[in-house]
């Protein structure tokens, strides 16, 4: 059995949906189909999810709700018309949206999730309706009934472990199941979504739950490339990554796959195949467990950079002799509910790299105060607007000279490296730079390792 997921650009209009259905029908093992909400039809278009966020905001701000609602319904009705589906499905979608709007509550995040989730939910209903109209044994699957149970973190949910057992029962059905991505239900029965791009996560969870042979993730590129094609012209295509390599790269800004999509399949060793809806004959890129991956031919598999980080530098003379000092530093972050990303250290100093969006100013002030007063740090300073640049590849393991080449590339491009961090697995090296240097860093490293 294969689980197959299609991103928003594959559902953007009737022509794309027909491509999706012909891909699904060309292989009878493709039984669970996860769909995103309709995405952009062209560069100037707006994704349905973004239209739904505007609709939620319009409701909150007492704006022109009818106009915002029409903008959403119009996307579905034009698809339904071009697929010759008749009025009924459009009425179902319109009534569904009105029903959701009528449930507006004071909890805006909860309300926004309810509206956002309708993007994929109605997309799945539409695709199932089309497949039925051409005589296929397809059904829309309701995530609530199927058991997609998530934590109640609106806009940032995580799957709850007992969900897998419930979802495993899908394997017993004999239909083509069209499953909406991006959302599930909390234990209280509220609609909750993953973070943006989360339909990838739905696909990963379903693939793990039914023990799929492969998780096929269809998007709009033939391969995953060694670097962002927006920065590098014709970047090197990479036919195979390991989970670990891909995890590092998607964490640092590779947008091709959601950062959390691999966690469920990783445990079961299910391969992921990234493919192109517009060129389904291309084999795409495989993401596989380390133990089944052939020996890499290149030291570096990918280069990524992400901005939006800050660093808290803590200096305390003789820190290395103080037992428990590191634990105390991290407990302060725990008390504030903040996770750290990296922690380069020296004998008397530790730098904590944190995502800026996770640390609002009031929390930062409290953290700095506690480090100075409770932990008696000699100095605490904060650098904002930082970026991390990741050089990733299994081929770097036990390979002499990779970091020399990398640091020489930074020097040649006149970029100052603020921090370097390399784990003992040697699969990646993290460089901390100023945010303005993020793109030039990727270009400099790409030229060194791929040109
Ligand atoms: N439609 C949602 C988004 O735009 C989820 C997804 O496409 O995966 O973020």
Residue 438 lies in a domain: yes
Span 324-341, average pLDDT: 96
φ/ψ (deg, to 5) at 134: -100, 20
Residue 75 lies in a domain: yes
pLDDT tens-digit map of 55-81: 999 999 999 999 999 999 999 999 999
Of 290, 320, 345, the last residue of a domain is 290
> What CATH number should be reported for the domain holding residue 436?
3.30.2130.10
pLDDT at residue 399 greater than cutoff 90: no
With the most atoms of ligand 1 within 8 angstroms of its CB, the residue from 47, 55, 201, 206 to mutate is: 47
Span 246-273, average pLDDT: 90
Of 290, 317, 350, the last residue of a domain is 290
pLDDT at residue 425 greater than cutoff 90: no
Q: N- to C-terminal Cα distance for the chain?
A: 40
Q: How close is the Cα of 94 to the center of ligand 1, in Å?
A: 20
Q: What confidence category does residue 426 fall into, taking pLDDT thresholds of 50, 70 and 90?
A: confident
428 in ligand 1 pocket by Cβ < 6 Å? no
Q: What confidence category does residue 40 fall into, taking pLDDT thresholds of 50, 70 and 90?
A: very high
CA distance 274 to 279: 12
94 in ligand 1 pocket by Cβ < 6 Å? no
Residue 295 lies in a domain: no
Residue 29 lies in a domain: yes
Annotate 360-420 with DSSP letters as a single string: -HHHHHHHHHHHHHTS--SEEEEEEEEEEEEEE-GGGTT-TTHHHHHHHHHHHTT----EE
CA distance 93 to 98: 9
Per this entry, what is the length of the chain? 451
CA distance 133 to 17: 13
Which pLDDT belongs to residue 451? 87
Task: Report which ligand 1 atom has the smallest distance to the Cα of 195.
Answer: 9
Contact 112, 56 (CB under 8 A): yes
Q: What percentage of the chain carries pLDDT values higher than 90? A: 90
- How many domains are there within the chain? 2
Same domain, 250 and 338: no
147 in ligand 1 pocket by Cβ < 6 Å? no
Same domain, 277 and 338: no
Contact 309, 354 (CB under 8 A): yes
pLDDT tens-digit map of 159-201: 999 999 999 999 999 999 999 999 999 999 999 999 999 999 9
Q: What confidence category does residue 290 fall into, taking pLDDT thresholds of 50, 70 and 90?
A: confident
Query: Which of these, 27, 443, 109, 321, lies nearest to 4 by C-alpha position?
Result: 27
Same domain, 315 and 257: no
8 in ligand 1 pocket by Cβ < 6 Å? yes
Same domain, 434 and 324: yes
Q: Which residue segment(s) compose the domain that 235 sits in?
A: 2-290
Contact 235, 227 (CB under 8 A): yes
Annotate 1-65 with DSSP letters as a single string: -EEEEE-GGGGSSHHHHHHHHHHHHT-TTEEEEEE-----SSTT---HHHHHHHHHHHHHTT--H
Query: Which of these, 262, 256, 232, 246, lies nearest to 301 by C-alpha position?
Result: 246
pTM above threshold 0.95: no
Span 332-339, average pLDDT: 96
pLDDT at residue 422 greater than cutoff 90: no
- Chain-wide mean pLDDT for the chain? 95
Same domain, 270 and 312: no
Which pLDDT belongs to residue 259? 84
Q: What confidence category does residue 291 fall into, taking pLDDT thresholds of 50, 70 and 90?
A: confident
Residue 31, C-beta contacts closer than 8 angstroms, at least 6 positions apart: 1, 2, 3, 175, 176, 177
Same domain, 257 and 340: no
Residue 334, C-beta contacts closer than 8 angstroms, at least 6 positions apart: none
Which pLDDT belongs to residue 329? 97
Same domain, 177 and 257: yes
pLDDT at residue 408 greater than cutoff 80: yes
CA distance 262 to 221: 19
Annotate 282-334 with DSSP letters as a single string: S--EEEE-GGGSPPPSSS--EEEEEEEEEEEEEE-TTGGGSTTHHHHHHHHHH
pLDDT tens-digit map of 138-158: 999 999 999 999 999 999 999
Span 123-139, average pLDDT: 97
Residue 125 lies in a domain: yes
Residue 297 lies in a domain: no
Of 290, 310, 328, the last residue of a domain is 290
Which pLDDT belongs to residue 251? 84
Residue nearest to atom 5 of ligand 1 (CA): 197
193 in ligand 1 pocket by Cβ < 6 Å? no
Query: What region, left, alpha or beta, does residue 202 occupy, with left being phi > 0 and alpha being psi -120 to 50 degrees?
Result: alpha
Which pLDDT belongs to residue 236? 94
Contact 123, 180 (CB under 8 A): yes
CA distance 412 to 447: 11
CA distance 224 to 215: 15
> What CATH number should be reported for the domain holding residue 161?
3.40.1160.10
Span 337-354, average pLDDT: 94
Between strands 272-276 and 214-219, the pairing is parallel
Q: What percentage of the chain carries pLDDT values higher than 70? A: 100
Residue nearest to atom 6 of ligand 1 (CA): 197
Same domain, 140 and 39: yes
Same domain, 316 and 284: no
Residue 430 lies in a domain: yes
């Amino acid at each position: 059995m294969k689980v197959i997921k299609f991103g928003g650009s594959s559902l953007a209009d009737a022509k794309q949906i027909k491509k999706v259905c012909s891909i699904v029908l060309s292989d009878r093992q493709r039984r669970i189909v996860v769909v995103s909400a309709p995405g952009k039809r062209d560069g100037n278009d707006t994704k349905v999810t973004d239209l739904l966020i505007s609709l939620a905001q319009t409701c909150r701000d007492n704006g022109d709700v009818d106009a915002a609602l029409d903008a959403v319904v119009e996307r579905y009705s034009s698809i339904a018309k071009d697929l010759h589906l008749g009025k009924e499905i459009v009425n179902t979608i319109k009534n569904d949206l009105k029903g959701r709007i009528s449930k507006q509550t004071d909890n805006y995040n909860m309300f926004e999730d309810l509206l956002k989730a309708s993007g994929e939910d109605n997309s799945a209903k539409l695709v199932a309706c089309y497949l039925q109209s051409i005589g296929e044994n397809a059904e829309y699957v309701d995530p609530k009934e199927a058991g997609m149970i998530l934590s109640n973190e609106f806009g940032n949910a995580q799957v709850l472990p007992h969900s897998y057992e419930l979802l495993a029962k899908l394997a017993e059905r004999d239909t083509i199941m069209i499953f909406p991505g991006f959302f599930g239900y909390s234990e209280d029965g509220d609609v909750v979504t993953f973070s943006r791009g989360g339909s990838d996560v739905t696909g990963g969870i379903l693939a793990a739950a039914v023990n799929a042979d492969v998780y096929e993730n269809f998007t709009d590129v033939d391969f995953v490339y060694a670097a962002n094609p927006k920065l590098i012209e014709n970047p090197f295509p990479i036919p195979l990554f390991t989970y670990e390599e891909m995890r590092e790269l998607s964490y640092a800004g590779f947008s091709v796959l959601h950062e959390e999509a691999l966690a469920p399949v990783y445990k079961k060793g299910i391969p992921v195949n990234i493919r192109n809806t517009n060129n389904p004959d291309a084999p795409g890129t495989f993401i596989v467990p380390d133990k089944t991956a052939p020996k890499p031919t290149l030291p570096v598999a990918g280069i990524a950079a992400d901005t939006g980080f800050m660093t808290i530098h803590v200096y305390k003379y003789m820190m290395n002799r103080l037992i428990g000092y590191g634990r105390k530093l991290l407990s302060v972050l725990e008390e504030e509910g903040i996770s750290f990303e990296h922690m380069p250290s020296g004998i008397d100093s530790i730098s904590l790299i944190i995502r800026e969006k996770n640390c609002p100013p009031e929390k930062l002030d409290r953290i700095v105060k506690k480090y100075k007063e409770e932990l008696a740090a000699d100095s605490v300073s904060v650098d904002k607007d930082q970026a991390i640049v990741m050089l990733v590849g299994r081929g770097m393991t036990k390979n002499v000279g990779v970091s020399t080449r990398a640091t020489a590339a930074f020097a040649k491009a006149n970029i100052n490296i603020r921090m370097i961090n390399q784990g003992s697995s040697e699969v990646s090296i993290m460089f901390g730079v100023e945010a303005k240097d993020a793109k030039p860093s990727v270009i400099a490293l790409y030229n060194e390792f791929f040109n």
